[in-house]
């Protein structure tokens, strides 16, 4: 079912933390607004935009903002809606969808079809193994290819926006050629500046302590997506409510971050000797990280059990790092063996807790 642009109502300023993607997407909005000028010059209107990137980074949100700003109708569908066991159903749904979009485009000048999780419908065509399902999927892809850039009446300005977090290579090559998905926009994880804006935005929606430092939280949340950040703030609100507090404090947000990263606390009853051994083991990791690691900071050391671990040292880079130097990898090996070294020095023997550490060190090596 179609959604009018005014009902989508996601303004451009509502899209926070996607600086690079927004620059590219704004070009698309301007092309849609000035489509008559584009056609007068002799250019062709964009046929398709492919939004790719990790989950929870705002691909659907950006598509809604494009529809709102361009002021044209928006038809959202999911890729899985076309996948059907019955022969011919997938292609017929594609035909109906584009027919509806073309009718709207004639009335409003243009229309957007948004296909979420397009990898479900646009996968590469392969030979059928004899059960018919692959042929049906191939036919659905074929129909999508024809509709996007086939024999159509002129003036049907239908723009297809596809979103996927699967690798681009999983889509059929014919979909990725010019004339189909002309424009590819990578919606990546937010930067430090983006995360600062996101934390400030989501904190406005809850009653919170004014002393909370947004910049500190942004540095602590390296590699977190906008969806993760929203979830952390919601989790912090639940923790504050559980403790009968009127406002969310810094402590609530840190606890929410730990719960997301490390899992729930288990109140296992360890013997005093076990507690001591775990404490020394974790201290070994902590000291090695603190003194020898070139890029990571220690954020938390604990001997409270979480998931399968009896204790943990949570460390992460001070900022996003996309490559690992030899020094960094060797430091990771040293940190992994720090717990073993601490146990050996203090108790002259080690526990089976070092087994996973050795596996980590080996994988780094």
Residues known to be catalytic: 282
C-alpha R_g of the chain: 26
Please report, for residues 44, 45, 155, the alpha-carbon distance to residue 36 in angstroms, rounded to integers and kept in the order given: 10, 9, 11
What is the CA 90 to chain-centroid distance, rounded?
28
> How far is 165 from 154, CA to CA, in rounded Å?
33
> DSSP strand E in the chain: where?
48-52, 74-78, 111-116, 158-164, 183-186, 265-266, 296-302, 305-306, 312-317
Report residue 149 CA to chain centroid gap.
30
**Any idea which residue has 């935005």 for tokens?**
201
Sorted by sequence, the CB contacts under 8 Å of residue 26 that are 6+ apart come out as 12
- Burial code (b: 16+ CB inside 10 Å, e: under 16) for 324-355 equals eeeebeebbbbbbbbbbbbbeeeeeebeebbe
Distance CA 171, CA 190 (A): 25
Burial, 95: exposed, middle or buried (Cβ in 10 Å; 0-12, 13-18, 19+)? middle
% helix / strand / coil in the chain, to the nearest 5? Answer: 55, 15, 30
């Amino acid at each position: 079912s179609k959604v009018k642009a005014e009902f989508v109502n996601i303004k451009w300023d509502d899209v926070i933390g996607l600086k690079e993607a927004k620059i590219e997407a704004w070009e698309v909005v301007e092309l849609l607004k000035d489509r008559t000028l584009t056609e007068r010059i002799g250019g062709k209107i964009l046929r398709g935009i492919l939004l790719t990137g990790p989950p929870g980074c705002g691909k659907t949100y950006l598509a809604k903002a494009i529809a709102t700003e361009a002021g044209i109708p928006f038809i959202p569908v999911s890729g899985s809606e076309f996948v059907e066991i019955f022969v011919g159903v997938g292609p017929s749904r594609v035909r109906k969808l584009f027919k509806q979009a073309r009718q709207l485009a004639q009335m409003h000048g243009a229309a957007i079809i948004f296909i979420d999780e397009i990898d479900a419908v646009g996968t590469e065509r392969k030979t059928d193994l004899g059960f018919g399902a692959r042929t049906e999927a191939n036919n659905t892809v074929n129909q999508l290819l024809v509709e996007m850039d086939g024999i159509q009446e002129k003036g049907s300005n239908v723009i297809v926006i596809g979103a996927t977090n699967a690798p681009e290579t999983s889509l059929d090559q014919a979909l990725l050629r010019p004339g189909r998905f002309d424009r590819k926009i990578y919606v990546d994880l937010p930067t430090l500046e983006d995360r600062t804006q996101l934390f400030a935005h989501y904190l406005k929606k809850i009653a919170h302590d004014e002393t909370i430092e947004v910049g500190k939280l942004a540095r602590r949340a390296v590699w977190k997506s906008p969806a993760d950040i929203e979830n952390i703030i919601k989790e912090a609100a639940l923790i504050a409510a559980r403790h009968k507090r009127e406002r969310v404090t810094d402590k609530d947000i840190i606890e929410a971050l730990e719960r997301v990263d490390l899992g729930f606390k288990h109140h296992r009853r360890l013997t005093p000797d076990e507690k001591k051994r775990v404490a020394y083991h974790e201290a070994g990791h902590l000291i090695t990280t603190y003194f020898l690691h070139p890029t990571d900071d220690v954020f938390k050391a604990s001997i409270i059990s979480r998931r399968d671990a009896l204790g943990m040292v949570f460390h992460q880079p001070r900022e996003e790092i996309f490559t690992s130097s030899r020094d960094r990898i060797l430091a990771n090996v040293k940190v992994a063996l720090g717990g073993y070294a601490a146990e050996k020095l203090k108790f002259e023997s080690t526990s089976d807790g070092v087994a996973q550490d050795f596996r980590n060190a080996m994988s780094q090596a």
